[in-house]
């Protein structure tokens, strides 16, 4: 057997964020996801790739979507999974993250998927336990699997990510989805812009290689893809925007505004949506929307990440899919 690629395609032990990956590593994950897409279409949606591996889904913040998507991915790869959510666990009784790490280490868990409210929490855990750590979203830092599924969705639609113009619209300041997408898109050669009220655009964003649009109309004209972020309604209370109504009027993505867009423009959204706030229903449910394919791709991309971190070779994914492990 020839062993060209190193274990895990050189991803390392963990997936903490896309900032630390190369364009080639990202493309490898996307390529590996391709054969896994098809498993979800089968009658028996299961392959024995991770049989005997234990995975803990550790969710310090509620997130139905991401947790379910990871759980599907894990089960379809035949892993044993345990879900721990912050509610009702020792987490709420003041156990520190370092104690949680020690406990996980003692239990000899193979992989941990963690969602946490604090930026850097995934890095913190990854540095302290031998298990593979997959960041399921840490504070306002990164949400790498979300960005990977977004990249896969865009690649499905456009065939090529190099040179694609993508504008992320909304609350960039507080968004881990935005950060992971910025890194991921830049690394595969896309052009990235952001657009939103200046109060929600972080200082120094241009230094990451991103351009800024002040008006959503300009952003729409420029873009091949528009990535609409969820507006957390508490931003209004915190004084970042005067009102949700005004936000919708100035930055909302409506069918009317999209009339000036390129023919091929697509609209993405990480969900859950505030219809009538950042995105209008006729856009969310319209022909430009790729929001449902995003969800489908989420499972395939997470399967690919789990498979690669567990030591699977990218060129063997097709065989693994057939159950020939």
Closest Cα to residue 74, out of 304, 317, 311? 304
Choose, by CB under 8 A, the member of 39, 50, 58, 121 that binds another protein: 121
288 carries an active-site annotation:
no
Positions 156 through 185 that interact with another protein (CB under 8 A): 176, 179
Catalytic residue among 53, 67, 143, 288: 143
- Stretch binding another protein (CB under 8 A), from 22-30, 45-53, 118-126, 275-283: 118-126
- Stretch binding another protein (CB under 8 A), from 3-11, 112-120, 146-154, 271-279: 112-120
Residue 268, beta-bridge partner list? 227
65 carries an active-site annotation:
yes
Catalytic residue among 76, 115, 174, 235: 115
The answer to whether residue 235 forms part of the interface with another protein (CB under 8 A) is: no
d(CA 214, CA 47): 48
Closest Cα to residue 170, out of 288, 251, 281? 251
Choose, by CB under 8 A, the member of 52, 94, 204, 287 that binds another protein: 204
Closest approach of another protein to the CB of residue 101, in Å: 10
Residue closer to another protein by CB (options 127, 324) is: 127
Residue 83, beta-bridge partner list? 57
Read off the DSSP letter of residue 8.
Answer: G
Q: What angle do CA 308, 42, 135 make, to 5 degrees?
A: 30
d(CA 130, CA 111): 9
Choose, by CB under 8 A, the member of 67, 123, 235, 302 that binds another protein: 123
Residue 80, beta-bridge partner list? 54
Closest Cα to residue 73, out of 59, 57, 61? 57
The answer to whether residue 140 forms part of the interface with another protein (CB under 8 A) is: yes
Q: What is the secondary structure of 274-285 as a DSSP string? A: -BTTTB-HHHHT
Point out which residues bind another protein (CB under 8 A). Answer: 19, 96-98, 116, 118-121, 123-124, 138-142, 176, 179, 202-205, 207-208
Active site residues: 65-66, 93, 115, 143
């Amino acid at each position: 057997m020839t062993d060209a690629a190193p274990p895990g395609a050189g991803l390392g032990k963990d997936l903490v964020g896309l900032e630390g990956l190369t364009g080639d590593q990202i493309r490898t994950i996307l390529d590996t996801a391709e054969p896994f897409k098809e498993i979800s279409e089968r009658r028996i949606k299961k392959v024995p790739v991770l049989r005997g591996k234990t995975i803990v889904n550790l969710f310090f913040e509620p997130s139905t979507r991401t947790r379910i998507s990871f759980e599907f991915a894990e089960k379809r790869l035949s892993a044993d999974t345990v879900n721990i959510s912050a509610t009702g666990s020792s987490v709420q009784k003041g156990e520190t993250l370092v104690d949680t790490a020690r406990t996980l280490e003692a239990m000899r868990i193979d992989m941990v998927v963690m969602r946490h409210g604090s930026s850097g929490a995934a890095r913190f855990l990854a540095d302290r336990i031998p298990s593979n750590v997959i960041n399921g979203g840490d504070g306002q830092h990164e949400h790498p699997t979300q960005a990977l599924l977004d990249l896969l969705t865009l690649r499905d639609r456009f065939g090529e990510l190099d040179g694609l113009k993508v504008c992320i619209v909304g609350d960039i300041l507080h968004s881990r989805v935005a950060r992971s997408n910025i890194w991921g898109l830049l690394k595969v050669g896309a052009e990235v812009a952001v657009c939103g009220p200046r109060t929600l655009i972080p200082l120094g964003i241009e230094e990451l290689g991103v351009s800024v649009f002040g008006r959503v109309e300009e952003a729409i004209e420029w873009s091949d893809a528009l990535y609409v972020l969820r507006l957390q309604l508490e931003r209004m209370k915190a004084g970042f925007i005067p009102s949700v109504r005004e936000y919708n009027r100035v930055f909302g993505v409506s069918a009317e505004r999209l009339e000036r867009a390129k023919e091929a423009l697509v609209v993405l959204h990480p969900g859950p949506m505030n219809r009538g706030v950042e995105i209008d229903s006729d856009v969310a449910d319209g022909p430009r929307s790729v929001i449902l394919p995003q969800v489908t791709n989420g499972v395939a991309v997470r399967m690919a990440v789990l498979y690669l971190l567990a030591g699977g070779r990218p060129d063997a994914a097709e065989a693994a899919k057939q159950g020939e492990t």
